[in-house]
Structure 1
Amino acid sequence: MLVFVTVGSTRFDALVDAALSEPVLSTLRDLGYGQLILQRGNSVIESERFNEESCTIQRHGVDIETWKFKPSIQAECEQADLIISHAGSGTILDVLRLGKPLIVVPNPTLLDNHQEELASALQILGHLKATSIQDLASTIASFEPRDIIPFPPFDGSKFSKLVDEEMGFI
């Protein structure tokens, strides 16, 4: 089984470090995840080898592929059995629309804390699981994808109705 971890287009060193940590990797391995793909963005990793453009390594029984950026992460999201992500709105919506199990980790270093607010709201609705860096391994261990409520499909008619109402057409 495959886990895809993404930090988006910025740096989120804490999430990258947590994803490569022994507690997280051992938990993933114990749950049957044998492969982890890590999109690390501009994050710096202590191991010199990980800071190459891309690399593959095995750690704690998990095969790890890591790279900085690709034009699209759509293929990785589609292949993944579990996605762990920063709590950026674009990434969250893309993953939820794919119907993939999603654990989000808001980046507490961002100024306005919007990631925390979005993650919390979507967790209350049952669409994903939100956690902190410190609780990532235990959240993975207790995560039950079957308990996730599917995200509703996009309905463009709602937007067009809103525009029509605002323009006075309705």
Structure 2
Amino acid sequence: MRAFVTVGSTQFDCLVQASLSVAVLTALRGRGYLSLVVQCGKFARAGETDGGLDKWTMEKGGMSIEMWRYKPTLAADYDNADLIISHAGSGTILDVLRLGKPLIVLPNPTLADNHQEELAAALDHLGHLKSTTISNLANCIDSFQPSSLKPFPLQDPKKFSDIIDEEMGFIPIANK
């Protein structure tokens, strides 16, 4: 099984470091994960001063780990993952929930406002994902039950156009 960690387009070094920690790797292995892919963004490896390589691999804690900075799309990584661990960015959350993939999110405490924390808490409360903190990530993985998550509602593009029509004062032809 494969776990995928993404930090998105911002720097979130503590999530990268936590995902490579002995505690988290042990928790993942204990749940049957043998492979970990980490989209690490601007994360600097030890001894780097200029950002270093764009992609590298390693073995640690019995896990095969692939790390890379950025790709044009994360779609293949989402598809190939059995578990996704992510920053709590709204775009990433929606992409993953629409795929029906198990998702653990960690709001980035270094951001200027708490929009990630609010969104994560609300979706956790609704049962669509699990929200946790850096310090609790290993425990969260240990206790995580993907089968307990509620499916995210399917997207209905008509709702958006109906809202716009209503706001603009348009009357649908069928109602004339």
Q: With structure 1 as the length reference, what TM-score do the two structures score? A: 0.96
Residue pair 1:10, 1:43 contacting (<8 A) in 2 also: no
How many residues align? The count is 169
Distance (Å, rounded) in 2 between the aligned partners of 1:61 and 1:51: 25
State the partner residue of 2:21.
21
State the partner residue of 1:143.
144
State the partner residue of 1:58.
59
Q: Matched residue of 2:56: which SS?
A: strand
> Runs of 5+ in structure 1 lacking a partner?
none
Q: CA deviation at 1:154?
A: 0.6
Distance (Å, rounded) in 1 between the aligned partners of 2:144 and 2:77: 20
State the partner residue of 2:111.
110
Query: Equivalent residues in 2 for 1:1-170 (5 A)?
Result: 1-46=1-46, 51-170=52-171
Q: With structure 2 as the length reference, what TM-score do the two structures score? A: 0.93
Distance (Å, rounded) in 1 between the aligned partners of 2:105 and 2:164: 32
Distance 1:52 1:147, change over 3 A: same
Q: CA deviation at 1:157?
A: 1.0
Distance (Å, rounded) in 1 between the aligned partners of 2:47 and 2:126: 39
Q: Residue by residue, what CA displacement relative to the aligned partner does 1:48-72 show, whole Å, maximum 9, x if unpaired? A: 6x95221111100110000001111
Distance 1:111 1:21, change over 3 A: same
Q: Matched residue of 2:135: which SS?
A: coil
Residue pair 1:16, 1:45 contacting (<8 A) in 2 also: no
> Over the residues paired in the alignment, what is the CA RMSD in angstroms?
1.3
Q: Which amino acid aligns with 1:123?
A: D
Q: CA deviation at 1:45?
A: 3.0
Q: Which amino acid aligns with 2:129?
A: L
> Runs of 5+ in structure 2 lacking a partner?
172-176
Q: Residue by residue, what CA displacement relative to the aligned partner does 1:104-145 show, whole Å, maximum 9, x if unpaired? A: 000001011111011001101110000000000000000000
Distance (Å, rounded) in 1 between the aligned partners of 2:32 and 2:73: 27
Residue pair 1:17, 1:45 contacting (<8 A) in 2 also: no
Distance (Å, rounded) in 2 between the aligned partners of 1:104 and 1:131: 6
Q: Matched residue of 1:3: which SS?
A: strand
Distance 1:151 1:31, change over 3 A: same
Q: Residue by residue, what CA displacement relative to the aligned partner does 1:26-47 show, whole Å, maximum 9, x if unpaired? A: 1101111000000000022336
